[in-house]
Amino acid sequence: MDKLNPQQQEAVETVNGPLLILAGAGSGKTKVLTHRIAYLLEIKACEYENILAVTFTNKAANEMKKRVGILLGNKSFNSYTSPIFWLGTFHAICLKILKKHSMEAGLDPNFLIYDTDEQLDVVKSILKKMDLSDKKLSPKGILSNISNAKNELLTPKEYEKYAQGFLQEIVSKVYFEYQKKLSENNALDFDDLIMKTVELFEENPKILESFQNLFKYILIDEYQDTNHAQYRFANLLAEKHHNICVVGDDAQSIYSFRGANIQNILNFERDYPEAKVIKLEQNYRSTKKILAASNEIISLNRNQKPKKMWTENNDGAKLVLYEAINEKDEAMWIGKKIQELSDRGVSLNDIVVLYRTNAQSRSLEEGFLRLGINYQVIGGVRFYSRKEIKDVLAYLKIIYNQNDNVSLLRVINTPRRNIGPKKIALAQELALKAGLPLLLFLLKQKEDSVIDKAFVGFAKIVNELINQSSELPVSKLIEKILKLTGYLDLLNDGTTENESRIENIKELISVATKYEVMDPKTALETFLNEVALIEEQSNRNDTALDKVTLMTIHAAKGLEFDYVFIAGLEEGMFPHSRSYLDPKELEEERRLAYVALTRAKLQLYLSYAETRVYYGGSNSNPVSRFVTDIPEDLLEIESTLGMPSGWQNADDFFKAEEKELFLNKNKSLGINKGDIVKHPVFGIGQIIEMDDSTIVINFSVGKKELSLEYAQLEKL
């Protein structure tokens, strides 16, 4: 094979026996996989049906089929015409197996596959039957727990043995009923596809043997992302001939929240003592300086397969590190840098801004809109278009304008109050007859009214909010909405999705704090008007072809860009504060940092904020350990404090009164050395040193030096 380096060629031609290919970032992993399949077909004369190649996405599978076709001289290969039948995702492969052996698996051949919405409907119906409120028990949270159980190959009976505490006991009961419902409806969910296939193999040795004989060569892509069920599936098929080739990079294992188990790749040589290991360490993507910084960061993880990535690419520029005053300053700096790149002829499509949490996109989006920079949010929607944000804004709109029926109808049953379409239609009809807007009609109703009591309860909540709106700042009004409606409680189910939504709501509260200097009577109107203008502006750039990409680091895995910005590099933000108490989670955060840096081809820009408004308060956190791990000679530091060349005074970016508020609102009151205090990120700690400007506190996560002005401490 041509155009392969020696390690790549060895990986392609080592086809017998177990093989672990440790493919570092930008090392040509897909190239190796496609060449290996082509080598098996063309050189080893292997039949198409004797190759099992498993990927994680349909996109990756289709791309591999296309590239194999090109290597074999058939450019017309695609997902439909390719003869490589057994190349696809775990779910697609298992579906084919179950369709072929549905009877032996105890399934009707015409079984259906339920999507997420259908699964949720089943869970909701079960909760209702069990007389359990889906307001207090999140159907999504319960479904997530059931999914985790299936990924661990735990049946309802097995899960019941391990269930501890109220929630798990509820999940256990729902899990039994959930499987019963699926069976009654002749349906499977996506997790069942793998679990049922593993059960089929374990309970039918002859069927297992037939597939072991069929798949002479097994290839598993992204092995570091496999869960227990996927691991079991692959190893059952490989246990006869051991011709299994797994490809992955433990340094890019970042999906534990989805059930991925890094030990699968770390323990491959334990599972197959005769395994050969080939390291692909030559990087074709990044500059020497970017790789040097990335290597330094990941080298500090203990639980890993050591690699030393290198490149023949040029040295490249130093990584630029910006010390921002706050998140607004950070967003404007990033925007200015992007404008500079654009002026040099760089396409916006070649630029990405990465962040740890979805909520961080808000300040970036607003900064880009102010500067007229077109952007797109990948893996999510724009901040003010996110469901939870639109819900909270709808409550604020009906508080401000009781004639707003559109906003009213959006939240009248959010959270769910047993107010369905029929009840709403009746209430609207009665309101029309009374000649009143719907909300005003509801506000006039009593407990003994002809309309449903749920309407009266909703109206009471809204009325209380209206009465308090003239006295409460917008940020406190939002908090009141969340409390009275139970909206935040609804999201507190422990799922990753809802954690992200809570963070978004906290970010909205943070936005609202800047209006605290205004009279509450005018602040709400101003806030809603400014949000509307931002939404309108953001809609305008939808048609632009040239856009900066905004995304979380998790969403960026597998992608590459010429110019990469990584924002929010502070302790508590990245690494995330919830990782502090678990060494395994901290190591995953470090792997996440490695993934972020290795997306860059030509230039890396890093930034952190000395203070960041979060959940209504200004938090002061030190720069991320992932930045301090980078050797100083690889960094070029810019700082507002030093007013670097070309940087404008911070007063250009936020009003003088805002700046004064920002600087003065968070001064600590009445604390002394030895006092016990509480920090919003680091928790409870004891003051061990302090002077006029700084304070050192011993927290459970270690000693932290904070700015006294911005520390947001609560004396206990």
Catalytically annotated residues = 29-30, 221-222, 252, 599
Give helix 496-512 / helix 139-151 axis angle, nearest 10°: 140
CA distance 358 to 383: 8
CA distance 527 to 478: 12
| Non-local CB neighbours of 209 within 8 Å, separated by 6+ positions | 240
3-state secondary structure of 320: strand
Concatenating the DSSP letter of every residue in 331-396 gives HHHHHHHHHHHHHTT--GGGEEEEESSGGGHHHHHHHHHHHT--EEETTS--GGGSHHHHHHHHHH
- DSSP bridge pairs for 623: 570
706 membership: H or E segment, kind and range: strand 702-707
Structure tokens, 709: 């002005």
Which residue is listed with tokens 């003051």? 687
Amino acid letter, residue 115? D
Q: Are 22 and 280 in contact (CB under 8 A)?
A: yes
Q: How many residues does the chain have?
A: 716
Q: b/e map of 261-300 (b: 16 or more CB within 10 Å)?
A: bbebbeebeebbeebbebbbbbbebbbbbbbbbbbbbbee
Q: Are 291 and 310 in contact (CB under 8 A)?
A: yes
CA distance 589 to 580: 10
Continuous H helices in 130-250: 139-151, 156-162, 165-184, 190-203, 205-214, 228-238
- DSSP bridge pairs for 112: 187
- Residue 448 C-beta-side C-alpha neighbours within 13 Å: 0
- DSSP bridge pairs for 111: none
Amino acid letter, residue 306? P
Q: Are 124 and 134 in contact (CB under 8 A)?
A: yes
| Phi/psi-derived region of residue 259, left when phi > 0, alpha when psi is between -120 and 50, beta in every other case | left
Amino acid letter, residue 369? L
The C-alpha torsion from 521 through 526 and 528 to 531, rounded to 10°, is: -160
CA 182 from centre of chain: 29
The C-alpha torsion from 69 through 70 and 75 to 81, rounded to 10°, is: 10
617 membership: H or E segment, kind and range: strand 617-620
3-state secondary structure of 107: coil
